[in-house]
Copies of this chain bind each other. A is one copy, B any other.
């Protein structure tokens, strides 16, 4: 049975759905329209195009074998008709036609379909800030906009830039401006942390510290009130300050493109996304939708989730392609996986952050471990920082977060846990997780196993912990006099701290604790400290055994505190 398939949107989902369908039903006809002239590009590569890592925008539109994915490419190699500069005006579900218009000459025509695919995508959220229409105020909505931004930068128009929004796109653009172009870059964010809702506050602060070390300024908990300038942007006014700016980039999230869909009477969610079932059918079984314009199931919470990501769009496209051809493929949802490169570090997550888990009603805690990615005796190695978010009682793993250098030791660990989350694994599963082992790649007891073990100990009440951010707070108030840091390392490490902070810092190496117990103050809240939190945990057990119970193990130890931005020896 040969069919006519029309696809609206030709960036990620559309091409994937169309190509896969054509491989299954070569005799059917596919027409794909897009209002833009550039199609089938890697939108997630835009920050690397702006930075100059990707020199030409054509590279984002090329296959891995260097062919440009334009209209001719789709015709010749995929037997798909593409109409660019063409927007869909309306869908008539009765007659099964789409009214389209050429945006260059205004000509309209109707396309008949047996099956229709909606890959209409999303648009940057427009903030109602006065002055948004000034020259030099951008949002990164598409590749053409990115070309304009890069052109202005290359022409030397931009010495200072302000990014609105510290989400993934905001931070990637901030790096791209500051790193290779040397632009003085500030980020304004209305929430109290970067990557809100994605990364746990403690780890977000570590990443922010790294960005600040790379000369990016942050203004958190600040709302932008007005853009000033004569014709071109000159200043950004927030509630608290005014920032000079030659360019502003708005990156305050995206909203799904669904106007045409609502008018056609298809079911739309309260968030404004097209409602689809697992087969990615809309409320009209002849119309499929996927990508940034749909909501899918969050496999951790069971509630609807929204992740506008090219990776999900591609896989959904394949599912739609199969179903167009009469197959029965399903897209069951996602747990939400994330990774970002920020200068020399990378930051990743899967599932819920600690804050997010609590907001969703979970009684959650987290374990935090710092360990080398490879065997500690192997010469090449990097520290990895991992946080596991778990539910009390059940021990169910709700999420994982990781920070590491740009080598992929950290990514290997997040990748190992992300696909497991939907199986409702527990801390015990992480403790016993089986990964390939060899000293150039991991430790015999991998950091993931250690992370699971630590979570088990915390849940069992055997490891009472504080995080780097709590410690920073306690440390700031140390002169209240009720807190003492007990350093469990040898004198070589502990000495400089004791000498500088003798009132608040005492050293008893963990191996001497049993014999020097009399020296431990009994009237203070003890913060147990070592390099990464391993020896301080052993010390806590010894103290507990001896009846000294008001002690707190600093998770991640001095390594975590320093990464957080608190350098006590500076």
Q: Which of A's residues lie within 8 Å of B, judged by CB? A: 12, 16, 23-24, 26-27, 42, 44-45, 48, 53-54, 59-60, 62-65, 67, 73, 76-79, 168, 309-315, 318-319, 329, 331-332, 334-335, 337-341, 346, 348-350, 371-372, 375-379, 406-409, 411-420, 423, 428-429, 431-442, 444-446, 449, 453, 462, 489-490, 510-512, 514, 530-532, 534-535, 538, 541-542, 545
> Could you jot down 18 A-B contacts, CB within 8 Å?
A54-B378, A64-B371, A73-B511, A76-B511, A311-B442, A314-B445, A337-B436, A337-B437, A339-B438, A339-B442, A341-B440, A408-B408, A413-B415, A416-B418, A418-B434, A418-B435, A419-B419, A419-B435
Q: Which residue of B lies closest to A544 (CB)?
A: B26
Flag if B441 contacts A411 (CB, 8 Å): yes
A534, B65: Cα distance in complex, Å = 10
Q: How far is the CB of A461 from chain B (nearest CB, A)?
A: 12
CA distance A329 to B26 in the complex (A): 55
In the complex, besides A48-B378, A64-B372, A65-B534, 16 extra interface pairs with C-beta distance below 8 angstroms are A12-B444, A42-B444, A54-B378, A310-B437, A329-B428, A334-B434, A339-B437, A339-B438, A339-B442, A341-B440, A341-B441, A349-B436, A350-B434, A408-B411, A411-B436, A416-B418
- In the complex, how many angstroms separate the beta carbon of A293 from the nearest chain B beta carbon? 17
The 7 closest A-B pairs by CB, nearest first: A339-B436, A76-B511, A311-B437, A408-B408, A64-B376, A310-B444, A412-B412
Give the residues in chain B near A535, CB-CB below 8 Å: 65, 77
Interface of A is mostly: mixed
Residues from chain B with a CB closer than 8 A to the CB of A453 are: 318
Indicate if the CB atoms of A416 and B413 lie closer than 8 Å: no
A544 to chain B, nearest CB (A): 8
Cβ contacts under 8 Å, A439 to chain B: 42, 44-45, 48
A407 to B410, CA, bound (A): 12
A375 and B44 within 8 A (CB): yes
Task: For the complex formed, measure the closest distance between the CB of A535 and the CB atoms of chain B, giving whole angstroms.
Answer: 7
